[in-house]
Amino acid sequence: MNTVEIEYPAGIDLVKIYISTQLVVERKDCRCVEFSFDDKLPVHIAVEFFPFKIKPIVRFNGFLLDYWLANIQLWDHRLEFTVSKTFYQDYKDKNIAGRIASLSTEHQAIEHFWDKFIGINNLHPELTEEIKKLIN
């Protein structure tokens, strides 16, 4: 079971949520709408809202989504995104690719920058062993 939550703290006058073009939720005068679905992935989710020109908070299975990383398309009255079987891995990969792209060419060649600014390529085996010794 998957859940999607749409929230706007100032309130939403009207929200309609579609899964693969089928209307599944319609609410008026609310701050938050949560719905669950058991459809097989991938699913296309579209959310229409009023007032126009707001940017609602979107959560998938309790996970706050970044619009860019989740490929959420935002218009003045609607947002759309697709959840695939590899959604979380795609999200992580795009996050890492964006962090790498933010480094200068010179810093991309320095190994410790990958660990310090991106958080990859170093599992810190010495610290892991030290923690294991302290736990035992």
Question: What residue segments make up the domains of the chain, in order of their start?
Answer: 2-86, 88-135
Fold held by 2-86: Immunoglobulin-like (2.60.40)
Condensed to tens digits (0 to 9), the pLDDT of residues 78-100 reads 999 999 999 999 999 999 999 88
pTM of the model: 0.82
Please, what is the end-to-end C-alpha distance for the chain in angstroms? Answer: 38
13: left (phi over 0), alpha (psi -120 to 50) or beta: alpha
Burial of 101 per CB tally in 10 Å (0-12, 13-18, 19+): exposed
Averaged pLDDT of the chain? 92
